[in-house]
Structure 1
Amino acid sequence: MFLQNVVGKTTQGFFMTVQRNTSRSTGANRRLPDAIADFMCGDSRDTAVTRAVWGNLKPAMTEIMDGFYDSVRATPEIADKLGDPDKSIPHLKSAQMKHWDYIFTHDPDLEFEARAVRIGEAHVRIDLEAQWYLASYGRLLIEALPALVKRYRFAPGKLPGALQALVGRVFLDMIMSYDAYENGVVRKRGEEHQRENELASLRGLANTVSDINEVALGMATLSHNTRRAAKNGQAISSAASELVASVEQISQTSDGAAHEANSTNAAVTAGLDAMSEVLQRMGDIADASQQSAENLADLHQASEQIGEFLSVIESIANQTNLLALNATIEAARAGEAGKGFAVVANEVKSLATQAAKATEDIAQRIDALKAGMLTTQDSISVSRKAVDRGQETITSANERMQSVGSRIAGVSSRMQEISAILQQQKEASQEIARSITGVADLAVENEAQLKNMSDALQASNDRFSSDARNWFNAESNRSLCEMAKIDHVMFKKRVVDTIIGHDKWSAADVPDHHQCRLGKWYEAIDNANIRAHPAYKALAAPHARVHAAAHEALQAHAAGDANTASARLTDLNTASQQVIDALNDLSHALQNELKDSDRRRELRDKSRQETARVEMASGSKSVTITDVSQSGFGVSGLSKADVGKAVRLIYNGTEILGEAVWADGNRGGIRIMRKDRGPQG
């Protein structure tokens, strides 16, 4: 049998709720040990008899205990429960002797019951199976019976009573301790099962919240983008309407340009016709000039011929004048006879002189005519050249005008095509404008639907948070890891909701990474093994980045800097995933290599100020309950002398069997050993 001090640890409190009916036939309330003792031993439960039995059995107990622990060490199934046997066995033997000394020398009082409960707690603590627990009692009893028979060999008449007393006390101790053991095992397994179930539920809920809110973050981003799309769609719709108006105006301008191009083409065609007529007239002028030049040439030739004729006439006149002169001379020589001839000669000379003058005058006039004709011929030549150049220029201009006319005709055709295309574009732009308006309206409707979905998701998150609080065990680091994941996801979602306009959260109101629940828990851990673990160390940096990124994102949002807010949200999301991964790694470590470090300090409700009555073997006293935890009470009114004593108190209608574990003369603590429904007397 193993005792409460197997490994020297402080016992943990157990809650056990059982309904006991232990009243005598008279109806008076009895304590459980009294009821069991009366049932087993009847009137032979006299403590004086058990004290005498113990006096005879005690000398043999050293040998019995040595044999018992030798057997334990030799039994593989239970040997490891001893820990280091060289250190634990002497302590166990001493504690066991003190325990047996008490139960054989005292009535089944409050301390008797408390000692039995401690025995049961000790065996629960070392995970001793029920078979070996009962077998240990059996082994000790089997060894004790022969020793007691040997002691009473000279008083055989007292032996039956002694054996009854021995078996009665051993069984009473076994029953009371086994009651605590059984309920402790059930409670331990139940609590472990409940803790694991609640932790699994909390972990599943945390993962669900994380996954769903990842979708929520996508929905939030989609909502933001939808609102931007709606806004941009409205802007595009307005721009499309303006485009329609512009296209219509361009179409009208194009139609006007096409009309002008047609008019220009007609004008160019008319100009080409006029230039063709001018070119024809210039040809006529050229021909006329050519004819005039030829006529002038003929006239010049005729003038030359007249000049030649005049030269002949002048020569004849000169010869005639010379002959007249000679005739005059000859008439003079002839005298009177020659007078008549002289007259004739003078007349001939006069006529010759007149002919010469007339010839000279004609020659002068012919020369003037020739000079005028040369001038006219030069002018006609210049005009001819000018007409030739004009013809060349008009021909070139005509060719260019024809080219321009062709191009203008092409432009006119293109402008007509453009006008037709613009008309189609106008219709298409109107259709686009209508479609964009429909898209913008649909985006507004989608935004409303997304807002409804976001609200429904937030309601789900609220329910998830409520469920999480029900499953959260503040005394478990693993449980806090899962709760921190939920807190963390909600933190991130609120930042995102604020940035997309679904919530209002000022950057000044965002706690830093020391003040949130995760930060407080992280910094409050004083277990060296946890603090040294890589998963614990890996949590600090990304957690700080999460809060910094959230603060900066909200600041940027408040300042209207959407780009910076979006960039910080990306940083927040990255650091957030690192926090989740680190929490998962730490939770896994706490389940495995750090499992002995998973329990945290119990949370105590310090809002109590209730008066209660406690009973001890030495009497009863009034105490004030100042705080309550799962395993005990903080009270005022205990003395240092009460430490180590069993106590019984009634709290909220429940009878508590406990132990005063500390006191300083003013305040103290009571560890809960067992809880029973209703007072037992």
Structure 2
Amino acid sequence: MLVGQDFTILHMNPAARALMREAEADFRTELPRFQADALIGSSIDVFQRDPAQQRATLSTLEAPQVTTLRIGPRELDLRVTPLRDNGRRIGFAFEWTDAGERRRNLDHAAQLAALGRSQAIIQFDPDGTILDANANFLQAMGYRPEEVRGRHHAIFVEPSLRESPDYQRFWDRLRAGEYQAAQFRRVGKGGREVWIEGAYNPILDTDGKVAKVVKTATDITPNVQLLGNLKQLIDRNFAEIDGAIARSAGSAGAAAAAADRTNAEVQSAAGGIEQLAASISEIAESMARSRAATERASDETKALARTTDSLTQAAQAMGGIVGLIRTIASQINLLALNATIEAARAGEAGKGFAVVASEVKNLAVQAARATEQISAEIDGIQTTSTGVAGALDAIREAVATVLDSVTLTAAAVEEQNAVTRSLAETMRNAAGSVSTVSASMGEITAAVQEAGDAMGKTKQAAQVLVR
């Protein structure tokens, strides 16, 4: 926009007119009289609320001045240059620019600069000729700028790929505007292997044709080498790991089987001990009954011993009576003898008395014989009673010994019964514990199998990472 010395707008080129029409609504928010199509021939005072200040500034302007105007939401960059003719100022040139575009360009430039600091960037013609490369890319590939400019992208690939149809299709797709991104194996200076993770970005011109291809990349060679080393390590150790897992699985399976067998044996033993406990309980009850019977036998033996003592005393008493009878019989016999002597003296008168005396004598003799026989029987009874008493004493001592043995045995059986019941309870608990161990061994076996599966998946994942 050309402005005369009197601050009248003389000319506007099409770009300036288009910009003013576009910004007219924004100008009118602050300058209600502003009209884009009426600017030529009007004063530049239309752009200011305080025209006097603007005129004062322009009157003293000797060199180009740049400022930014904010009109509502819009920002415009303005460059004012004094126009001179033979040293005399004849007017001003106003150059208007949309500041938003400048700011966007600055933002894009800052983004590109930031990207260039962290990424390797190289630019190609659509045919693959290298236009430029930043320091990161040159460092990754080991080249200097003059060694790559003007050369083809093929210097970064192996000869076998360079001559392949895949490489030709790669560039055909880029020339067609197709974006491509992946991990690429490239060849650096001296044949050094370089791995990059990058993207080839076709850049289109205003006609929609590919003007150039910009590649942004990151050098991942150390990561790929690390993954390669990891794969070698996994391949080297997986056989041992697989073997260890297999052995662990086998051992766990064998332990589980042993635990199952032990569980069955413990269950069987627990059942046997419970039967033994029942049998011992019956024996304890039988011993208790035997103890009671033995105690009763001991009491009966004591009572019989008392009866035998009474019999012995009675036999002894009968011996005294027999002695008395024997004395009486002896006196009767002596009396009969005297009666016989007296009858002989009496002669005929004493014959009848002699007969009586003879019968009395006979009775005395018979009484003496009977007395002897009774005495012999009583002696036999006494001897028998003494033997019975001795035998009863021996029986009483034997019964006492048996009673003591039965008592001790009953106590031992009762203690054994208690221990057996405790053992049966312990065996039941042990059976439960073995069942738990068996279940745990099953879980361990499953865990080992899961570990084996996980190691297999890890191996596959490592192989995928290496690819």
TM-score by length of 1: 0.35
Higher gyration radius (CA): 2
Point out the structure with the larger strand share.
2
If asked which structure has higher relative contact order (CA below 8 Å, sep 6+), I would say: 1
Point out the structure with the larger helix share.
1
TM-score by length of 2: 0.50
